[in-house]
C-alpha cells in the first residue's frame, strides 16, 4: 500500500524496482554494426571512423569533424591546436595564458586548461540557465586572456552572439564545450558550426553514445589538419593511410602529439546512434513536457533552462529546490528520492570549490555566488529515450511525495 510518507521516513517506496538515472538505448542495429566491424579485421581508426566523421560533420553543419576518444581529449586538442598555454618564457615572467570558462561544469572543462599550463578564469552563471553569464565576461578579460570556453549546460545554448562579439573585440578563440549539446541549435545555427571549435561527448550517458568518445568540429581547414596530427602522436600519416593499397608510406612526427584517436568499434556504435538522434530527442522532449507540466505549479521547484526560441538538446532535466520553503536540504531530498527507487544525480558541484581548485588558485566560498547557490540546490531527474511513460509518472509521483512531505 502506498502512503504519503517517504520511504526514507518509514513509508513505502513509489517503485518496487530501482529506476536508473540513465540507461543507453541500443538495439540489434548497434550489435550488428559492432560485429561487422569486429569481423572486418579493422578495429582501430579506419573506414567507419571516416564515415562517422563525415556524417557527424553534415549533422553539425560543420566543414570538418575529427573523431577522438573523449570530449576531454577534444577540448585539450582544441587548446593545443589554438596555441594556448605551454609557453615557458611566459610562465617565467608570470605571464600565463588565461582561458575564461564557467565553474558550473564538469571538471574536464577546466582540467584541460591546467593541462596546457594556462590558468582557468571563472565567470559566474546566469541563474535561469546556469550558462556562463555573458554580462560578466568582459570584466574578466585581460591582456593574458586567449580563449573562452562556454558550456551549453544541460543542452541549453549559451548566448553565443554576445560571446562571439567579445571574442572579435578582444581577438579571442572560442571553443564550445558541447558535451551536453549534440542536437542544440542557437537561433537556427547548429552548435558545431558557430565558433572556432566545438567539442562533443559520446560518453555512456550522453545523448549519442559510443561508450567513450568525442568529436571536435571546426570550419577551419588549418585547424582541422593540426588537430588530426595532434590526435595521433603528431604523426603526419595515420595507420589507415599508411597501410593503404597504394603502398607503404613512411610518416614524420611533426609534434609530440597525443593518443586520442577513435576506434572503428566506437564509430560503428556512433553511426547507428547518430541515425536515431532526432527520434531519441523527440522521446526526451515528451518526457520533458510531462515533467514541465507536473512541476509548473510546485512553488518549491524552479525549472532550469526553459527558455524560448532555441533548440534544447534536453540532455539533463535539472530542477532547483527553493530550500527555504522546505524542511530538508537538497541532499536529504536526493537521498529520499533514491529511497523511492528513483535514480538522481547532481550536475554539478561548484568546480572552484573542489580541493585542487581551492588549493591551486585560492578559490573559496563567495567567489561565484550564483553558481554556489545553485550547486547547493540543484538535482537532475532521469531523462533518456528508453524511459517508459510509467517511469516518468513514477518520477513525478516521487518528487511530489518527497517535496510535499518536506514543504513548510
Ligand X SMILES: Cc1ncc(COP(=O)(O)O)c(C=O)c1O
Binding site for ligand X (CB under 6 A): 70-72, 105-106, 108-109, 151, 177, 179-180, 201, 203, 214
The one-character DSSP state at 259 is B
Taking the C-alpha atoms of residue 93 and residue 155, their distance in angstroms, rounded to an integer, is 40
Q: Known catalytic residues? A: 206
What DSSP assignment string belongs to 57-75?
Answer: HHHTT-SEEEEES-HHHHH
Taking the C-alpha atoms of residue 87 and residue 39, their distance in angstroms, rounded to an integer, is 46
Kindly state the smallest distance separating residue 72's Cβ from ligand X, in Å: 3
Which one, 271 or 402, has the nearer CB to ligand X? 271
The one-character DSSP state at 15 is -
Which one, 329 or 345, has the nearer CB to ligand X? 345
Kindly state the smallest distance separating residue 101's Cβ from ligand X, in Å: 10
Long-range (24+ apart) CB contacts under 8 A made by 303-307 are: 304/128, 304/129, 304/130, 304/153, 304/154, 304/156, 304/374, 304/378, 305/128, 305/129, 305/130, 305/131, 305/153, 305/154, 305/155, 305/156, 307/128, 307/129, 307/156
Kindly state the smallest distance separating residue 201's Cβ from ligand X, in Å: 3
Q: Of the candidates 191, 101, 130, 125, which has an alpha carbon nearest to the alpha carbon of residue 318?
A: 130
The vertex-347 CA angle with 192 and 100, nearest 5°, equals: 55
Q: Of the candidates 377, 259, 379, 369, which has an alpha carbon nearest to the alpha carbon of residue 323?
A: 377
Kindly state the smallest distance separating residue 361's Cβ from ligand X, in Å: 19
Q: Where are the beta strands (DSSP E) in 31-95?
A: 64-68
Kindly state the smallest distance separating residue 230's Cβ from ligand X, in Å: 16
Taking the C-alpha atoms of residue 194 and residue 28, their distance in angstroms, rounded to an integer, is 35
Which one, 42 or 52, has the nearer CB to ligand X? 52
For helices 264-295 and 389-406, angle between their N-to-C axes, nearest 10 degrees: 50
Which one, 105 or 218, has the nearer CB to ligand X? 105
Which one, 151 or 223, has the nearer CB to ligand X? 151
Kindly state the smallest distance separating residue 239's Cβ from ligand X, in Å: 23
Which one, 45 or 105, has the nearer CB to ligand X? 105
Kindly state the smallest distance separating residue 300's Cβ from ligand X, in Å: 26
Taking the C-alpha atoms of residue 59 and residue 50, their distance in angstroms, rounded to an integer, is 14
Q: Where are the beta strands (DSSP E) in 244-309?
A: 301-303
All 3 cell numbers of residue 110? 577546466
- What is the tally of helices (H) and strands (E) in the chain? 13, 13
Which one, 71 or 301, has the nearer CB to ligand X? 71
Q: How distant, in Å, are the alpha carbons of 64, 68, 159 from that of 228? A: 10, 9, 29
Amino acid at each position: 500500500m502506498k502512503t504519503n510518507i517517504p520511504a526514507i521516513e518509514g513509508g513505502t517506496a513509489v517503485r518496487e524496482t530501482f529506476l536508473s538515472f540513465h540507461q543507453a538505448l541500443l538495439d540489434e542495429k548497434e550489435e550488428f554494426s559492432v560485429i561487422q566491424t569486429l569481423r572486418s579485421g579493422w578495429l582501430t581508426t579506419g573506414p567507419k571512423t571516416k564515415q562517422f566523421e563525415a556524417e557527424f560533420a553534415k549533422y553539425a553543419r560543420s566543414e570538418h569533424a575529427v573523431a577522438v576518444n573523449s570530449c576531454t581529449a577534444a577540448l585539450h586538442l582544441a587548446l593545443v591546436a589554438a596555441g594556448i598555454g605551454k609557453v615557458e618564457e611566459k610562465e617565467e615572467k608570470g605571464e600565463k595564458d588565461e582561458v575564461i570558462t564557467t565553474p558550473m561544469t564538469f571538471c574536464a572543462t577546466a582540467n584541460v586548461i591546467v593541462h596546457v599550463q594556462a590558468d582557468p578564469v571563472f565567470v559566474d552563471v546566469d541563474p535561469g540557465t546556469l550558462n556562463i553569464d555573458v554580462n560578466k565576461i568582459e570584466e574578466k578579460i585581460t591582456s593574458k586572456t586567449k580563449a573562452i570556453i562556454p558550456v551549453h549546460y544541460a543542452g541549453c545554448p549559451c548566448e553565443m552572439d554576445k560571446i562571439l562579439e567579445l571574442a572579435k573585440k578582444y581577438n579571442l578563440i572560442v571553443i564550445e564545450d558541447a558535451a551536453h549539446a549534440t542536437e542544440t541549435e542557437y537561433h537556427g545555427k547548429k552548435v558545431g558550426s558557430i565558433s572556432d571549435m566545438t567539442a562533443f561527448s559520446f560518453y555512456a550517458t550522453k545523448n549519442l553514445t559510443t561508450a567513450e568518445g568525442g568529436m571536435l568540429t571546426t570550419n577551419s581547414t588549418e585547424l582541422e589538419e593540426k588537430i588530426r596530427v595532434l590526435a595521433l602522436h603528431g604523426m603526419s600519416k595515420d595507420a589507415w593511410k599508411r597501410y593503404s593499397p597504394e603502398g607503404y608510406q613512411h610518416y614524420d612526427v611533426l609534434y609530440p602529439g597525443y593518443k586520442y584517436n577513435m576506434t572503428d568499434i566506437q564509430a560503428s556504435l556512433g553511426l547507428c546512434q547518430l541515425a536515431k538522434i532526432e527520434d531519441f530527442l523527440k522521446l526526451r522532449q515528451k518526457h520533458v513536457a510531462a515533467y514541465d507540466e507536473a512541476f509548473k505549479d510546485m512553488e518549491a521547484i524552479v525549472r532550469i533552462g526553459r527558455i524560448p526560441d532555441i533548440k534544447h538538446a534536453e540532455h539533463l532535466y535539472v530542477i532547483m529546490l527553493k530550500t527555504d520553503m522546505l524542511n530538508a536540504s537538497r541532499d536529504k531530498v536526493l537521498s529520499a528520492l533514491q529511497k523511492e527507487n528513483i535514480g538522481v544525480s547532481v550536475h554539478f558541484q561548484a568546480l572552484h570549490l573542489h580541493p585542487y581548485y581551492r588549493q591551486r588558485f585560492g578559490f573559496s566560498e563567495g567567489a561565484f555566488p550564483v553558481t554556489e547557490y545553485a550547486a547547493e540546490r540543484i538535482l537532475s531527474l532521469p531523462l533518456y529515450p528508453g524511459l517508459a511513460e510509467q517511469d516518468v509518472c513514477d518520477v513525478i509521483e516521487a518528487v511530489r511525495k518527497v517535496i510535499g512531505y518536506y514543504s513548510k
